[in-house]
Each structure stands twice: as C-alpha cells, then as structure tokens.
Amino acid sequence: MYAQMVKTGVEHIQSKEEMSPEERAFQDRVDADIRIEPKEWMPEAYRKTLIRQISQHAHSEIIGMQPEGNWITRAPTLERKAILLAKVQDEAGHGLYLYCAAETLGVSRDELLEQLNSGKAKYSSIFNYPTLTWADIGAIGWLVDGAAIMNQVPLQRCSYGPYSRAMIRICKEESFHQRQGYDAMTKLARGTPEQKQMAQDALNRWWWPSLMMFGPSDAESVHSAQSLRWKIKINSNDELRQKFVDQTVPQAEYLGLTVPDPDLKWNAERGHYDFGEINWDEFYQVIAGNGPCNRQRLRTRVKAYEEGQWVRDAADAYAAKKAARAQVKAA
Amino acid sequence: MNQQDALFEYLLRLGDNALILGHRLSEWCGHSPALEEDLALSNVALDLIGQTQLWLNLASEVEGKGRDADKLAYLRDGRDFRNVLLVEQPNGDFAVTMARQFYFDAWHYLLLRELAGSKHPRIAEIAAKGLKEVTYHLERSRDWVLRLGDGTEESHRRMQTAIDDLWMYTGELFESDEIDQAMAGEGLGPDLATLHEPWLGLVRATAEEATLSLPEPGWAQKGGKRGIHSEHLGYILADLQFLQRAYPNATW
C-alpha cells in the first residue's frame, strides 16, 4: 500500500443529523456510488485528506523509482534491462497521473514536491529498504507490486473521479509489473543453486516489510472509519494484508521458496493463513526516518531536483522568449 | 578480412553504438530534471536497447558461432567493442547529455536513412524501423539544444561548453575505414564521408538558432570503431556485465 496511516483531521464521525445540508448531500452521493468531480462541493476535510493520500501515493511512486533504478544498468540481459527500465518509467508516469489528480484538488505539483523534498510529506515505508541483489528486483515486482495492487484495485471504485480514473490506468500497468517480477523470481528459483539462494534471500528480506506496507491494524482508527465512509479507503488494513498473505503463500510454495515465518500455517476453520507477529517497532522507526535508506532516498531526490533547476528555468525562459517572438510576429 | 567478417564488424558497430548510448541514457532514470524527462529519456533508451537487440542478433547470425545478442553484449571485453567514442562519454550535466545526443542523433538519422536503402534486406528493414524512432530522438535533442542554448545565461553557458567539449568526438562519425569501404562497395551501407555535409548543415542551423557557436574543425579523437576506447568504457562494462560475469552460465 503506497499510502499509510493517512490522517483525516477528523475527531469523530458525524451522523447524518449532525451534518450541514451540503455535507449530507455530499455523503448521499458518496453512498449512492456517484463519483465526486473536481468542481463539485466537497467537505474541506475530504479535500485535504485526499491531497494527503494521493500525494503520498505519488511520492511513493517517485521514491520507488530509486530502489529498482539501482539495478537498471546492471540488469542481466538486454530483455530484463528493457523490462526494468520500462517498469521504472511506468512509475514516473504513475507519479505524473497522481500529481495531476492531486492538482485537481487545488494544490500544485511544485508545492507537493516541495513537501517531499523538505521531508514533510511521507511515502511508503517499503522504499526505504535497499536492493542488494538482482533477486530483489524480482521480489519487489512480485511482493511490493502485489501488495500495492491489493490496495489499488478496490480504489478504482473510490469516490473521487480523478483518483479513481488514475487507479484504473495504474492497475493495468501494476499487474504487468507483478507478473514480470514473479517471472524473474521463477527464473531464479528454477536456476542454479546460487540463483535459488539469491531468490530465497530476497524473499527473506522483503516478506515482512511487504506485510508492513498495509499499515498497522486500523480497526479502531477514527481516520480509517472516516476514509471508509468517504469511500477513499475501501477495505481495512488487516483485510488487505490477509488477502495478500493468502494469495502469496501458494505462489511462494510453487516457486519452492520458504516464507520466513515459523508461525505461518493454514487455518481451515478461518479459511485463511495464520501468520506471525509483525515487528511494528521496526515499522515506526522506518516511518520516523530511521530505515536503512531514508536519508539516502531523500538526498538523491533533492539532488536531482536541485540539479535540474537550471534546466527547468531554461525551458521556462525559452518558452517565454518564443511566445514573445510569436506575439511580435503576429502584431 | 573476408566479406562476412567485415559485415559482422559493421553490425557490431551499429549494435554497440545503440547499446552504449542506451546504457548511458538509462543512467538518468530517476535522476533527471523533471518527471517528463525521466519518461522521455527512458523512451529513447528503450528504443536504443531494442535496436541493439536487432543489430546484435543479426551480427550473431552472420558470425554463426552461437553468440546471441546477450552474449555479444555481456561477454565481450572493451577491446572488442566497436562503438564510437562519442556515445561512451559520461552523461555530465543535462547539457552534455543533450549535446551528445544531438550530435549522435543527427548522424544516426542520416545513417539510418541511407541504410534503409541497403542492398542487404535485413539491414534495410532494421534501419527503416530504427529511422522512425530516431526521427523523434533528433527532434527532441534538437529541441533541447535550442531551449538550453537560447534559455537562460546559465543554460547557454553550459550548452556552449558541452558543444565545445564534445566536438572532437564527432570527426570519428564520418571517417571510413576498410570495413566501411567494403560495405559501401557492396551497396550495403553509405560512404560515411557523404554524411558530413548534411550533418554539418543541420548542426550549424541548429547552433545558429540556439545562439551557440560551433568550434572550428580540428583534431578528431578516433579509435572506438577499432576497439581503442576511452577509460570510461571499462566502467560501463563493469556495470553492464556484472551479473553475467559473476554467475557464468546462469540464465535470467
């Protein structure tokens, strides 16, 4: 999940009676699954929460380019290189759609990037882990994109039109990413003993951080309840995490790899896998900026942005000169 | 050198130019000045990787020793690489990358246009496909030369420096050796010297519009086509070939 623990600024959930007529009309539309479009009235808290959520998602796409980008020049074949480059390129594209969706809510891409660069905005905890071997690229496609899809498929039906439409485009590409990740893992798992070891090691390192992507249990959270009510969140974190585990464990078995959780077992009564306790201390540390790569990721992003300033300035200056010349010509 | 060896070498040159320049451009992914550029630079890199596969697979068929495009790309050492020196030059700042791209694209475009009429049907086919892509590459890199040359004072200064610094690598593009001559003699490829005037015309007109000045013709650095490279290529290959070298005989 690329947006974690999004605050709504709401202290309690209003009943319909407590709502103003505008708020009530809005909630009725949401309840009736009618999409909210940019120019329509919406509660300020809804607008602000969506900006937080969409921008967090966009930032995750942009920061997420780094761990995978780390292996583009070292991809092992021309085809793998092309696939990986195309995937990271898709992530830049996803970032663009999402910044555009956020812009419909009255905030500019520059403002959002400023929040990212200053360290004020959050992005998914998962991208603060390092990609140490080629197998990590397969594991990210399989697990990280797999987890992202769990969350994003339901969001195709979310209440905000531009976000929902961005999700529809993104999901098409994400499912391709997940397939290529699993395909890369399959090659490794069926390869030489060293390759199989590489695949197992990647699963060991990415499994728990992938489960953390869904965020802590939010059964009691007023923010989650409000977001569910607004239909900008469709399922609880625990529901999605369970669905992910149920889907992924058989895939690992098929690859002949072992999920690094001694407590993992099928629970016939529940019809789900039981799994072990997640290390939430680690999660909160990563969120607080203490993950293995937080500083590196942010510094790399800021460096690219700052070093590109003169290029963006030049493009603006050139466009202005060109427009002025066209005006002189027309006069 | 017999005809088949010459053709193999010639195809390596085409494939290696695309491979090494595509590699350089892929280094930008995630680090460019704007998201739009991450997308665009990756597009160009992807086109070049695709062209690499086509040229090197054809080279492999001509050689007939079972070295496919991946083996050729990942298991040759630097002395066996045949790309021109221009494409292996480091990315530098965005102006260097775009100046390198523009010099190369202008030549690549003219070359592929000729190769599209090659008597070798496979060469003609690959060139025609590549020409569509390279037409767009040229449009884009030319546009950036204009924007940076005629943008701000800083961008002008940076682009002028890039244009000057890379100039000495352009001479190699037009130099025909016995392999080029053998190909030209058979009607498989053009006489490279004939591309020089149209290239200069395009580059001059662009520089003028971009308020840039072109250096005087001078000493040209050469050697890439014969495997005498700059120090930079070794590091590109160390990066590119790491997995294939560390895990021989694995499939990926």
Contact list, A197 vs chain B (CB under 8 Å): none
Q: Which residues of chain A have a CB within 8 Å of the CB of B155?
A: 310-311, 313-314, 317
**3-state DSSP assignment of residue A17:** helix
Kindly determine whether residue A88 and residue B43, on different chains, have CB atoms separated by under 8 Å.
no
Average pLDDT of the segment spanning A234-247: 96
Rounded-to-integer distance, Cα B45 and Cα B25, Å: 6
| Mean per-residue pLDDT, B203-213 | 98
Q: How close is the nearest chain A Cα to the Cα of B181, in Å? A: 30
pLDDT at B133: 98
| Residue B251 domain-assigned (yes or no) | no
Q: Is A92 on the interface with B (CB under 8 A)?
A: yes
Segment A24-34 mean pLDDT: 96
Residue B166 lies in a domain: yes
Contact A318 B252 (CB under 8 A): no
In a domain, B87, yes or no: yes
Q: How confident is the model at residue A12 (pLDDT cuts 50, 70, 90)?
A: confident
pTM for this prediction? 0.96
Is B219 part of a structural domain of the chain?
A: yes
Residues of B in contact with A72 (CB under 8 A): 26-27, 29
CA dist B12 and A285 (Å) reads 51
Q: Alpha-carbon distance A12 to A226, whole Å?
A: 8
- Return the SS3 of A160: strand
Say whether residue A14 is in contact with chain B using an 8 A CB cutoff.
no
Q: DSSP secondary-structure letter at B169?
A: G
Å between A229 CA and nearest CA of chain B? 34
CB B232 within 8 A of CB B90: yes
The answer for residues whose C-beta is within 8 angstroms of residue B222's C-beta and 6 or more apart is B85, B171, B172, B175
- Do you know the residue count of chain A? 331
pLDDT tens for residues B149-184? 999 999 999 999 999 999 999 999 999 999 999 999
Total domain count, chain B: 1
Q: Which helix (H) or strand (E) holds A273?
A: strand A272-274
Beta-carbon contacts of residue A257 (< 8 Å; ≥ 6 apart): A185, A189, A199, A200, A203
* A311 vs B contacts (CB less than 8 Å): 33-34, 37, 94, 148, 155
CA atoms of B114 and B148, how far apart (whole Å): 30
What DSSP assignment string belongs to B21-62?
A: HHHHHHTTTT-SSSHHHHHHHHHHHHHHHHHHHHHHHHHHHH
Does some domain include residue B182? Answer: yes
Torsion, CA A93, CA A99, CA A100, CA A103, rounded to 10? -170
Average pLDDT, chain B: 97
Non-local CB neighbours of B193 within 8 Å, separated by 6+ positions: B174, B175, B176
CA B191 to chain A, closest CA, distance in angstroms equals: 30
CATH at residue B21? 1.20.1260.10
A186 close contact with B: CB closer than 8 A: no
- What's the rounded Cα separation, in Å, for the pair A310 and A152? 36
Q: Is A321 on the interface with B (CB under 8 A)?
A: yes
Query: In this predicted structure, what is the pLDDT of residue A60?
Result: 97
Q: Do A82 and B43 touch (CB under 8 A)?
A: no
Contact flag A313-B155 (C-beta cutoff 8 Å)? yes
Q: What is the pLDDT of residue A5?
A: 81
**Residue A114 scores a pLDDT above 90:** yes
pLDDT at A265 over 90: yes
Provide the ipTM.
0.97
Residue closest to B88 by CA, chosen among B242, B218, B231, B215: B231
Query: How far is Cα B35 from Cα A91, in angstroms, rounded to an integer?
Result: 10
d(CA A236, CA A239): 5
**Enclosing domain of residue B95:** 3-246
**pLDDT for the residue numbered B172:** 97
Cβ–Cβ of B250/A310 closer than 8 Å?
no
In a domain, B139, yes or no: yes
Measured between CA atoms, the residue of chain B closest to residue A308 is B33
Task: Determine, for residues B38 and A65 on separate chains, whether the beta-carbon distance falls below 8 Å.
Answer: yes
Which residues on chain A are in Cβ contact (under 8 Å) with B70? 77-79
What is the predicted pLDDT for the residue at A1?
54
Q: Which of B50, B148, B252 sits opposite A314 (nearest CB)?
A: B148
Residue B252 lies in a domain: no
Tell whether A323 lies on the interface with B, counting CB pairs under 8 A: no
Residue of A nearest to B48 (CA): A82
| pLDDT tens digit sequence for B23-62 | 999 999 999 999 999 999 999 999 999 999 999 999 999 9
* Torsion sign (Cα): A183, B24, B176, B178: negative
Residue B250 at interface with chain A, using a CB cutoff of 8 Å: yes
Contact B176, B114 (CB under 8 A): no
CB pairs under 8 A between A and B: 137
CB of A192 less than 8 A from some CB of B: yes
| Minimum distance, in Å, between the CA of residue B148 and any CA atom of chain A | 6
Query: Band of the pLDDT at A69, cuts 50, 70, 90?
Result: very high
The C-alpha of B245 sits at a distance from chain A's nearest C-alpha, in angstroms, of 10
Asked if the C-beta of A326 comes within 8 angstroms of chain B's C-beta atoms, the answer is no
Asked if residue A140 has pLDDT above 80, the reply is yes
What average pLDDT is seen over chain A? 95
* Per-residue model confidence as pLDDT tens digits over A227-240: 999 999 999 999 99
Rounded distance, CA A74 to CA B73, Å?
12
Q: How confident is the model at residue A6 (pLDDT cuts 50, 70, 90)?
A: confident
